[in-house]
Chain A
Amino acid sequence: MNNRLVTTLSGFISGLFLCLSAIPAAYAMPDIQHWVTANGVRVYFVPAPELPMVDINVTFAAGSVRDDGQPGLARMTNTLLDMGAAGLSADEIATRIESLGAELSTSSVREMAVVSLRSLSDKAHLEPALGILADVIARPNFDKKDFERERERKLVGIRRSEQSPSTVADYTFFQSVFGGHPYAHRVSGTEASVKALKLDAVKAFYKRYYVARNAVVSIVGDLDRKAATTLVEQIIGALPAGKRAAALPPVPALTQAFEERIVHPSTQTHVRMGAPGMHRGDPDYFPLYIGNHILGGGGLVSRLHEEVREQRGLSYSVNSYFSPMEQDGPYLLSLQTRNDQVDEALAVMRKTLQDFVDKGPTDAELIAAKKNITGGFPLRIASNSGIISHLNMIGFYDLPLDYLDTFNGKVTAVTQQQINAAFQRRVSPETMVTIIVGGEN
């Protein structure tokens, strides 16, 4: 029986290779429609009539990179949007939204500040939900007592994050890799910086950055272009045009290795190693992305996973990834292991990285990675939520509208030489930051 299985399987796999080349034509790409409103909002829309629902993301270039010496300011501003608007209280906003079965949320990271709405698409549900979304974006109350309360909640959140060796390692890593660059500081701010925040600064931040020319709206759902156009005007037509946020300064490359060990009362030690990596639209994007997929990005199949976990049982999760941003975002390798094994695990990680930079991938690895990435492409755009996250990225970083259509072709075209060259030019193990947080042994 086992023999039979082997035979069948290899027969099947060779069949699949044929199938693979046929894939790009076999399914429909999302029909991305793009326009700019009169006040300057960039809009990206994909109709999805299959389910009676709509997803809307309104994204501003108003993340923590705009904190300007007041860490935590961008996130506080974003949090307060739905804590009262157009004279409605936080209670009233939440009650109205949730009585419609809609979901309204705010979130912010280093570059983006987002307000999202998910709603049923019939008029009786969607219209009132849009009204509230418009209020939250254009008419926040910024009430003093909401500000004080949310500040207290954030302080508790910051204290709790100090309990986690993994979070402490992340904070320290960004600080060390990005130094004086706006990517360096914590999105949440620190206890001291959040205590020092002033409501007037929040209002000024809002006025500067929550403007039409600084916004991207992504919509996926059960509506047509005409309805989408009306919808956008309704939620964001009242925003002043304003100015787009200034371009961020380039990230300086690291010039020498840096290592820091932080004692934490934990049974495991968390390791973060890396450097500035690449940016959105980077000419080396595809070689670096595929190369890293082979080294540490490919889920249960990667060199780091094989060396650290499968061969040696040293870590539950071990991976590496590039986070491309407007400027070079981090290239980050991480693992966690029992305190007394950290030196061994770190040595294996370093050697695996160095080998890859020196010699690059094998033929077989490159073929397997391309098959995984291109063959898995339909999964990325199989749901409304998958599509909207791509729209948001394309819009925010001004990527070409055919980004999704050309993706597989660009992956397929990458050569081993391009990967070797890109890694040797862009990844320098000898000048990386290494952060080690855990218990002493």
Chain B
Amino acid sequence: MRSMLSIFLLLGSQMTLAAGAVSEYQLENGLKLVVKEDHRAPVVISQVWYKVGASYENDGITGVSHVLEHMMFKGTDAHPPGEFSRIIAENGGRENAFTSKDYTAYFQRLEKSRLAVSFELEADRMRNLHLQDKEFQKEINVVMEERRLRTEDKPTALTYEQFMASAFVSSSVRIPTIGWMNDLENMELADLQAWYRRWYAPNNAIVVVVGDVEPEAVLALAKKYFGPLKPEEIIPPKPRLEPRQQGKRYVNVRVPAEVPYTIMGYKAPVLGTAEEDWEPYALEVLANILDGGDSARLTRELVRGSQIATSAGAGYDLYDRQAGLFLLDGTPAGAHTIAEVQQALFEQILRLQEALVAADELARVKSQVVASSVYEQDSSFYQAMKVGQLEAVGLDWKLADAYVDRINAVTAEQVRAVAKKYLVEAQLTIAELDPLPMDTGSTPRADSNGGGHEQ
């Protein structure tokens, strides 16, 4: 295995050359611009990231960041509702937007000569959005439909939402990005106006451009369109640190479903909060030892070996803004129960705490990480995502480049150490989806937190 590793390391240095140069700028109004060159094809991806998302929200207005994302397509003084999308479409562009816990981002993919179209329109809606009640009344219904589609009618998504809201009592990590239904029902235009004024400004935004472009030319365009925008006084969100969990928590979700499911999470730090900066990388390796492909432990031992589960997984995200969870989940096979799946997952954790992971398992994870860092370059969207994601949570985008080296430096001892330190019962929340019969549903299931829809 050692010989293989040296091949990977060699490849690593070549990749840096292939990956394309990155240029970083800051405009006088505080807007950050990151340009990554990728000259493989005459296309460009343009993304505008705002440092605001569900974890910035407080009770009563949950979902407001996401609703505002929808309203950002509803017109400015210069461009009536829908015109943004029409202009992008006429220029051969593909566009959309997304909201998460920690950020809201807007993107266009265009032929490279059209970048100015994106900048002009994005700069306009960064400061000049015209929020109109008539448009809001329709769009809030669209968002409620989106919530029904993504959460209300998906038993596993509903379970995840209840699970997160129980695992955290104070940290805003608990807030579902789409918002609670009752908060959506009571949202007002004024909530959006306040949210827009508070967060949408050049000094709270990062523009990421990846493609067949010349960085200085992109800077000139950015100065032209974003440069004149006035900054805002940005007051960062309160820390809302989660009080220490004092014992195991258990959540039971009973909705009509065919297949039971369990999800478990242990409180875990992220890059920005970890006591030791190697710990998040060790947790990444740990997640990959359990679930980094078909040869990883969960699929090999629970799905193919004991056949207790038909699927099982592990997940961890080191780049979140606030401390979150190390996750495990599973679906029991045939005659097996949720309790058996949970037991099997606990046994896996115990083993990681007691025995060092094998050298070949560690080598496998590392080769996958090295290879992925090459494969990722095939997607300019993904490259832009990584830069934006890191910058939006206050991390340096260069950490993404350091990822391969940091993973390669993780030892078996460190993997065991984080397993012992973080995967402990007092920090555990377990949820299970406990199906009700589907045919009880001759009457529709009510929206999860009340609120009829008589209108």
Contacts and interface: CB of A to CB of B under 8 A. Distances in A.
Interface of A: 1-2, 5-6, 8-9, 12-13, 16, 19-20, 23, 26-27, 50-53, 90-91, 94-95, 97-103, 118-120, 122, 124-125, 149, 152-153, 155-157, 159-160, 162-165, 263-268, 298-301, 306, 309-317, 336-340, 368, 371-379, 381-385, 438-441
A102 B372 CA distance: 9
Contacts of A23: 111
Contacts of A312: 138
Contacts of B334: 152, 155-156
Given A2-B78, A51-B377, A52-B18, 9 more contacts: A2-B77, A98-B294, A98-B296, A119-B371, A159-B259, A299-B89, A382-B41, A384-B378, A438-B444
A382 B90 CA distance: 19
A306 B294 contact: no
Given A124-B4, A315-B142, A371-B92, A264 B441 contact: yes
A299 B108 CA distance: 12
Interface of B: 1, 4, 7-8, 11, 14-15, 18, 40-43, 73, 76-78, 81-82, 85-87, 89-96, 109-111, 113-114, 116-117, 120-121, 124, 128, 137-146, 148-149, 152-155, 228, 256-259, 292-296, 299-300, 303-304, 307, 310-311, 331, 333-334, 360, 363-364, 367-372, 374-375, 377-380, 438-447, 453
Interface centre among A97, A102, A316 (most CB of B within 10 A): A316
A191 to B, nearest CB: 10
A375 B87 CA distance: 12
Nearest to A12: B116
A156 B94 CA distance: 37
A309 B82 CA distance: 12
A394 to B, nearest CB: 19
The 6 A-B pairs of least Cβ separation, nearest first, read A265-B441, A375-B92, A439-B444, A101-B371, A313-B138, A94-B295
Given A98-B294, A164-B154, A6 B96 contact: no
B138 A152 contact: no
Contact of B258 (A159, A310, A376, A438): A159
A98 B153 contact: no
Contacts of A439: 441, 443-445
A93 to B, nearest CB: 8
B211 to A, nearest CB: 9
8 contacts: A103-B375, A300-B73, A300-B89, A313-B140, A338-B148, A382-B43, A439-B443, A441-B444
A95 B258 contact: no
A152 B92 contact: no
A377 to B, nearest CB: 7
Given A51-B377, A263-B441, A385-B378, A378 B331 contact: no
A340 B453 contact: yes
Contacts of B299: 94
Contacts of A378: 41-43, 92, 111
B295 A98 contact: yes
B148 to A, nearest CB: 5
A310 B81 contact: yes
A313 B73 contact: no
B94 A376 contact: yes
B145 A12 contact: no
A268 B82 CA distance: 26
B92 A265 contact: no
Contacts of B117: 12-13, 16
A423 B379 CA distance: 36
B93 A163 contact: no
B324 to A, nearest CB: 26
A120 B295 CA distance: 19
A9 B120 contact: yes
B307 to A, nearest CB: 6
Contacts of B7: 122, 124-125
A91 B138 contact: no
Contact of A52 (B14, B116, B121, B307): B14
Contacts of A266: 148, 152-153, 441, 444-445
A265 B158 CA distance: 14
A122 to B, nearest CB: 7
Nearest to B371: A101
A12 B379 CA distance: 28
Given A12-B117, A51-B18, A156-B259, A379 B43 contact: yes
Given A8-B120, A313-B138, A315-B145, A153 B445 contact: no
Contact of A160 (B42, B258, B372): B258
A163 B90 contact: no
Contacts of B85: 299-301
A398 to B, nearest CB: 27
B153 A268 contact: yes
Nearest to A89: B304
Given A153-B310, A311-B138, A313-B142, A267 B445 contact: yes
A289 B322 CA distance: 46
Contact of B120 (A5, A19, A371, A375): A5
Interface centre among B124, B294, B379 (most CB of A within 10 A): B294
B94 A268 contact: no
A53 B14 CA distance: 13
B307 A152 contact: yes
Contacts of A95: 295, 360, 364
A414 B379 CA distance: 32
Contact of A53 (B40, B304, B375): B375
Nearest to A146: B304
A99 B154 CA distance: 35
A5 B378 contact: no
A9 B121 CA distance: 9
A336 B145 contact: yes
B152 A381 contact: no
Nearest to B82: A310
Contacts of B259: 156, 159-160, 163
A149 B378 contact: no
Given A98-B368, A301-B89, A267 B447 contact: yes
B9 to A, nearest CB: 13
A6 B78 CA distance: 6
Nearest to A27: B42
Given A13-B87, A301-B85, A156 B95 contact: no
B404 to A, nearest CB: 11
Contacts of B113: 16, 19
A320 B380 CA distance: 28
Contacts of A438: 444
Interface centre among A300, A306, A312 (most CB of B within 10 A): A300
Given A95-B295, A120-B374, A263-B441, A383 B81 contact: no
A50 B40 contact: yes
Interface centre among B42, B152, B153, B438 (most CB of A within 10 A): B153
B130 to A, nearest CB: 10
A157 B85 CA distance: 38
A99 B364 contact: yes
A122 B7 CA distance: 10
A149 B306 CA distance: 10
B266 to A, nearest CB: 25
Contacts of B77: 2
Given A368-B86, A375-B111, A438-B444, A267 B120 contact: no
B145 A16 contact: no
A312 B5 CA distance: 58
Contact of B95 (A50, A300, A315): A300
A312 B155 CA distance: 28
A53 B379 CA distance: 13
A98 B292 contact: yes
A440 B439 CA distance: 12
A331 to B, nearest CB: 22
A164 B256 CA distance: 11
B438 to A, nearest CB: 6
B307 A149 contact: yes
Contact of A98 (B128, B364, B439): B364
